[in-house]
């Protein structure tokens, strides 16, 4: 009996066709998991590189409160350098600029070609103090000279724009376009990683000359002494620096974007786990059927002296071998998925992602999880095989496990899962809740299969007259063998419905937000800020009706002891509400406009207000240039994406710095074509003022394209899960045909033709798929509501659930398609059974 475990390998070889279907399902699940792990790792590494490029060795970063035109107060650098716990500091002046390769208007007076231009951050630095914190690796040319109109660019930027050392380019600055020489190219490490490589460096005196102020600086990097905690140092010295500065730990740079990327990775991770979950049930199903088929073999082993532990080991080793091989194959497929996913994420987030390499850690984790899941899924069938009575097993042979089970523990699992996904718990808890909901629904399927099969059977049995009733009766009788196969299809259909419903809800919200918040016919934005006379020039363009200036900046929201740096938008309520509006959650246009015009009032994104626990009419605290001020919440609005953040009024402009407009919302006159007006604005103003002009249609198309891109990743994962469910259905039908070989022979001998036998298998598959579809509708709707609630909490999106009626028919068609494809091989096998051999079958 020492070689008993070799039966595991022999079992795999003897039934290699059937186990190949199971291995394919596990392979797809592991591929989805590995692809997501690699994509998440590469994306996170790129984000960390960008943060490291900005922060370098700095522990704390300091900037001005208020508009993007704001600078730090004179003397702050000296005071910071003298504070306890400070090792070294460096001051910078950053200008959001437009790097223009076309330097002059064309001969016909038209503006230069801007198609190859790119927004970059021009960073003025003091190289002796900046370089030790942010290493420069020069790969071509030389460093810029202090005070000279020259700069160095990153290798990635030079590659994207085909720049070379010695080339002259134009940079948009607050004092106008300035010609700059490219002195050198730095590598994409250290300082070259800032802003994902979209950065150029010049000397601090040069940047100040472009800014028009000889003492201006808007950033400081602070290195603390060893053992000093950044958050504690900030809290300790906040009062000493005053309220005109924003301080945050360097590790929190791009915190909002980091949260967004983490949430996207978590969502994709959840779908990949569900794909693996489906694969696990496929393994459970396969080995349950295998145990039932080999009951007589296990009984014989027990009669010959094998103990339960040895019999159990046969099944578990068989599952481990299958899981290991299929997981290794899944790594190969997953690498291709990761390459596609990284390319898509890079284009959607507009970031340069590092090469994949070979992520050995993710591969080991994926193979380990795939193998462990396989063994775990086979454990219950293994226990069932070991517990079989030798005498009964040898006498009865194949037997289904039709023991009476209690329904209430399964309902508890479902209820706990629902409580988790609708709670305000962290993302991990809600993800666990989704798995529990699926598990609870799967465990309840055996109690629902028989009544639903009887109810829906009259619809499917008509596909094959005469023998269709037999297929339905078989499902009702053998519910334990069919229930979990049905559950696989149900889970896949429910996830398709849930993701599709979330997609529809977000598209609907996106349309509402863009129609109202970007309700203007176009947006005219500057890479930095507009010159004072641009408003009059815009108003004079033929076709322009009204316009409203918008200013951007930053502020701190104070919530008790917590201080959160956030995006700030300042609007002119008198003109804004004539051009655009908001998708109100709390409030209305009239009351919000009146409150903003009176001053000391703000509008908040609904998710931000919910997170702070404040409602319309309550007050919040913001940090301003003149100190901490209290503001009344005049309303909350729906937000999808970054949006406008905290919205203040020009009535309080002095509190946030009287910065120049960064953008204008423009409406066109009745009868005027937005595209024509857009071209007129570029022709008239673009020659001397760098700007970006986008119509509402362009903004809407871009937003929907990005949304489709993110959901395409989710749908790709669902395709893998769907393929796994189809394999499970095919596996069950093959076993069903094998189990009923003698019954099929009797039907053939009674006059049934081959087409009727094939049709009987199709009826069985269609009935299973139809029952799965009926159960998937409430389950998918429940998951969709939970998924949308999670998006609202995690992404800060204001998305509301509505029942996805538009998806019911497509999902039903997908169910029938899965049934049709899965039944092809089993039906063909059943139709080829010969009468004589079938009646001899045992």
The string of DSSP letters for 557-575 reads EEETTEEEEEEEEEE-HHH
| Cβ–Cβ under 8 Å, residues 631 and 593 | no
651 pLDDT band, cuts 50/70/90, is very high
Q: How confident is the model at residue 649, as a pLDDT?
A: 94
pLDDT tens digits, 123-135: 999 999 999 998 8
Per DSSP bridges, beta strands 646-649 and 66-67 are unpaired
Question: Which segment of 263-272, 451-460, 522-531, 800-809 scores lowest on mean pLDDT?
Answer: 263-272
| Cβ–Cβ under 8 Å, residues 698 and 793 | no
Q: How confident is the model at residue 105, as a pLDDT?
A: 42
635 pLDDT higher than 90: yes
Q: How confident is the model at residue 32, as a pLDDT?
A: 78
42 pLDDT band, cuts 50/70/90, is confident
Helix H or strand E encompassing 182: strand 176-186
% of the chain beyond a pLDDT of 70: 80
C-alpha of 546 from chain center: 38
Number of residues written out for the chain: 842
**How many Å apart are CA 97 and CA 527, to the nearest integer?**
5
C-alpha of 205 from chain center: 42
> Which of residues 583 and 484 earns the better pLDDT score?
583
599 pLDDT higher than 70: yes
627 pLDDT band, cuts 50/70/90, is confident
Token pair, residue 216, equals 């201006």
| HEC per residue, 773-806 | HHHHHHHHHHHHHHHHHHHHHHHCCCCCCCCCHH
> Which of residues 663 and 448 earns the better pLDDT score?
663
Question: Which segment of 56-65, 221-230, 293-302, 693-702 scores lowest on mean pLDDT?
Answer: 293-302
644 pLDDT higher than 60: yes
pLDDT tens digits, 759-790: 777 887 888 888 888 888 888 888 887 777 66
**C-alpha radius of gyration, the chain, whole number:** 33
Rounded average pLDDT over 202-208: 94
Interhelix angle 468-477/427-460, nearest 10 degrees: 140
> Which of residues 751 and 245 earns the better pLDDT score?
245
> DSSP for 34-103?
HHHHHHHHHHHHHHHHHHHHHHTT-SEEEEESEETT--PPTTHHHHHHHSTTEEEEEEEEEEEEEEES--
Bin 196: left if φ > 0, else alpha if -120 < ψ < 50, else beta.
Answer: left
| Cβ–Cβ under 8 Å, residues 300 and 489 | no
Partnered with residue 584 across adjacent β-strands are 637
**How many Å apart are CA 496 and CA 776, to the nearest integer?**
9
SS3 481: helix
| Cβ–Cβ under 8 Å, residues 637 and 518 | no
According to DSSP, residue 300 is labeled H
pLDDT tens digits, 429-472: 777 777 788 788 888 887 877 787 777 777 776 666 666 666 66
Token pair, residue 758, equals 């094939």
Partnered with residue 620 across adjacent β-strands are 631
402 pLDDT higher than 60: no
Token pair, residue 728, equals 């499970």
| Cβ–Cβ under 8 Å, residues 370 and 322 | no
**How many Å apart are CA 202 and CA 124, to the nearest integer?**
5
143 pLDDT higher than 90: yes
Token pair, residue 427, equals 């993302």
Question: Which segment of 206-210, 366-370, 764-768, 800-804 scores lowest on mean pLDDT?
Answer: 800-804
Closest to 588 measured CA to CA, from 634, 550, 652, 648: 634
Closest to 718 measured CA to CA, from 496, 439, 490: 496
Q: How confident is the model at residue 339, as a pLDDT?
A: 83
Question: Which segment of 162-166, 369-373, 733-737 scores lowest on mean pLDDT?
Answer: 733-737
**How many Å apart are CA 828 and CA 806, to the nearest integer?**
35
Q: How confident is the model at residue 479, as a pLDDT?
A: 60
| Cβ–Cβ under 8 Å, residues 80 and 241 | yes
> Which of residues 820 and 292 earns the better pLDDT score?
820
pLDDT tens digits, 306-332: 777 877 887 788 888 888 888 888 898
Q: How confident is the model at residue 113, as a pLDDT?
A: 45
pTM of the entire structure?
Answer: 0.72
12 pLDDT higher than 90: no
Phi first, then psi, for residue 126 (nearest 5°) are -95, 100
Question: Which segment of 198-212, 353-367, 417-431, 604-618 scores lowest on mean pLDDT?
Answer: 417-431
Phi first, then psi, for residue 667 (nearest 5°) are -110, 150
85 pLDDT band, cuts 50/70/90, is very high
Taking the alpha carbons of 595, 599, 605, 611 in that order, is the dihedral positive or negative?
negative
400 pLDDT band, cuts 50/70/90, is very low
| Cβ–Cβ under 8 Å, residues 614 and 603 | no
Contact residues for 332 (Cβ-Cβ < 8 A; gap 6+): none
Per DSSP bridges, beta strands 627-637 and 601-605 are parallel
Closest to 362 measured CA to CA, from 47, 36, 45: 36
Partnered with residue 88 across adjacent β-strands are 223
Rounded average pLDDT over 9-28: 66
**How many Å apart are CA 490 and CA 495, to the nearest integer?**
9
Q: How confident is the model at residue 89, as a pLDDT?
A: 93
Q: How confident is the model at residue 650, as a pLDDT?
A: 92
Helix H or strand E encompassing 468: helix 468-477
Q: How confident is the model at residue 451, as a pLDDT?
A: 80
Give how far Cα 390 sits from Cα of 290, 317, 402, 572, 819, Å.
17, 21, 19, 85, 37
> Which of residues 82 and 436 earns the better pLDDT score?
82
> Which of residues 437 and 51 earns the better pLDDT score?
437
Q: How confident is the model at residue 109, as a pLDDT?
A: 44
Token pair, residue 195, equals 């802003």
Mean of per-residue pLDDT scores for the chain: 79
């Amino acid at each position: 009996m020492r070689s008993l475990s070799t039966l595991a390998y022999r079992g795999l070889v003897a039934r290699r066709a059937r186990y190949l279907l199971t291995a394919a399902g596990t392979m797809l699940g592991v591929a989805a998991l590995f692809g997501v792990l690699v994509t998440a790792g590469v994306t996170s590494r790129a984000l960390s590189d960008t943060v490291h490029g900005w922060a370098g060795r700095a522990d704390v970063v300091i900037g001005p409160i208020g508009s993007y035109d704001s600078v730090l107060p004179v003397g702050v650098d000296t005071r910071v350098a003298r504070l306890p716990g400070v090792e070294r500091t460096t001051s910078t002046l950053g200008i959001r600029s437009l790097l223009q390769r076309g330097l002059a208007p064309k001969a016909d007076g038209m503006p230069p070609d801007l198609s190859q231009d790119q927004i970059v951050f021009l960073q003025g630095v003091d190289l002796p103090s900046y370089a030790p914190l942010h290493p420069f690796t020069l790969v071509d040319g030389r460093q810029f000279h202090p005070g000279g109109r020259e700069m160095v660019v990153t290798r990635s930027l030079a590659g994207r724009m085909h720049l070379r050392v010695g080339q002259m380019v134009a940079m948009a600055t607050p004092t106008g376009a300035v010609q700059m020489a490219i002195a050198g190219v730095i590598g994409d490490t250290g300082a070259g990683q800032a802003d994902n490589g979209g950065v150029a460096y010049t000397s601090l005196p040069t940047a100040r000359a472009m800014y028009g102020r000889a003492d201006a600086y808007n950033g400081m990097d602070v290195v603390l002494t060893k053992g000093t905690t950044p958050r504690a140092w900030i809290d300790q010295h906040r009062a000493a620096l005053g309220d005109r500065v924003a301080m945050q730990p360097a590790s929190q740079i791009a915190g909002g974007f980091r949260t967004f990327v983490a949430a996207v990775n978590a969502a994709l991770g959840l779908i990949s786990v569900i794909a693996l979950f489906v694969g696990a049930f496929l393994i459970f199903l396969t080995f349950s059927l295998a145990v039932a088929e080999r009951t007589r073999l296990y009984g014989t082993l027990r009669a010959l002296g094998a103990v339960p532990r040895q019999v159990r080991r046969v099944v578990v080793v068989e599952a481990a071998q299958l899981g290991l091989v299929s997981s290794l194959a899944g790594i190969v497929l997953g690498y291709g998925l990761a390459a596609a996913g990284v390319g898509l994420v890079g284009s959607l987030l507009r970031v340069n992602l590092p090469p994949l390499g070979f992520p050995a850690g993710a591969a080991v984790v994926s193979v380990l999880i795939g193998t462990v899941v396989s063994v775990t899924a086979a454990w219950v069938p293994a226990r069932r095989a070991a517990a079989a009575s030798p005498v009964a097993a040898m006498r009865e042979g194949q037997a289904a496990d039709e023991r009476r089970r209690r329904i209430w523990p399964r309902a508890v699992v479902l209820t706990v899962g629902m409580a988790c996904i609708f709670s305000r718990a962290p993302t991990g808890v809600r993800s666990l809740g989704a798995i529990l909901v699926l598990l609870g629904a799967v465990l309840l399927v055996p109690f629902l299969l028989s009544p639903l099969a009887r109810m829906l059977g009259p619809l499917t049995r008509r596909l094959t007259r005469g023998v269709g009733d037999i297929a339905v009766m078989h499902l009702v009788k053998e519910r334990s063998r069919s229930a979990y196969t049905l559950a696989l299809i149900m889970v896949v259909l429910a996830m398709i419905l849930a993701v599709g419903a979330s997609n529809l809800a977000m598209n609907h919200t996106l349309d509402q937000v863009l129609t109202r918040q970007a309700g203007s016919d176009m947006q005219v934005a500057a890479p930095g800020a507009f010159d004072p006379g641009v408003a009059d020039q815009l108003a004079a363009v033929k076709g322009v009706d009204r316009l409203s200036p918008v200013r951007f900046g930053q502020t701190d929201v104070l919530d008790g002891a917590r201080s959160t740096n956030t995006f700030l938008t300042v609007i002119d309520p008198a003109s804004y509400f004539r051009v655009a509006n908001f998708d109100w959650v709390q409030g209305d246009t009239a009351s919000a406009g009146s409150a903003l015009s009176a001053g000391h009032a703000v509008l908040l994104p609904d998710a931000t207000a919910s997170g702070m626990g404040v409602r319309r009419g309550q007050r919040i605290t913001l940090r301003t240039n003149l100190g901490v001020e209290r503001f009344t919440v005049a309303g909350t609005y729906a937000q999808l994406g970054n949006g406008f953040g905290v919205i203040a009024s020009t009535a309080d402009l002095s509190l946030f710095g009287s910065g120049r407009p960064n953008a204008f919302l423009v409406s066109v006159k009745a009868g005027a074509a937005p595209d024509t007006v857009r071209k007129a604005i570029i022709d008239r103003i673009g020659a001397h003022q760098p700007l970006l002009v986008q119509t509402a249609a362009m903004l809407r198309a871009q937003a929907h394209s990005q949304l489709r891109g993110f959901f395409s990743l989710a749908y790709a994962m669902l395709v893998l899960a769907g393929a796994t469910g189809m394999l499970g259905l095919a596996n069950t039908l093959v076993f069903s045909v094998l189990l009923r070989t003698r019954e099929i022979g009797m039907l053939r001998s009674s006059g049934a033709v081959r087409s009727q036998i094939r049709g009987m298998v199709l009826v069985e598959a269609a009935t299973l798929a139809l029952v799965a579809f009926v159960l998937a509708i409430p389950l998918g709707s429940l998951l969709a509501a939970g998924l949308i609630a999670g998006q609202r909490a995690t992404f800060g999106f204001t998305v509301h659930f509505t029942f996805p009626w538009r998806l019911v028919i497509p999902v039903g068609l997908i169910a029938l398609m899965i049934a049709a494809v899965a039944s092809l091989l089993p039906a063909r096998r059943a139709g080829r059974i010969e009468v004589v051999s079938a009646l001899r079958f045992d």
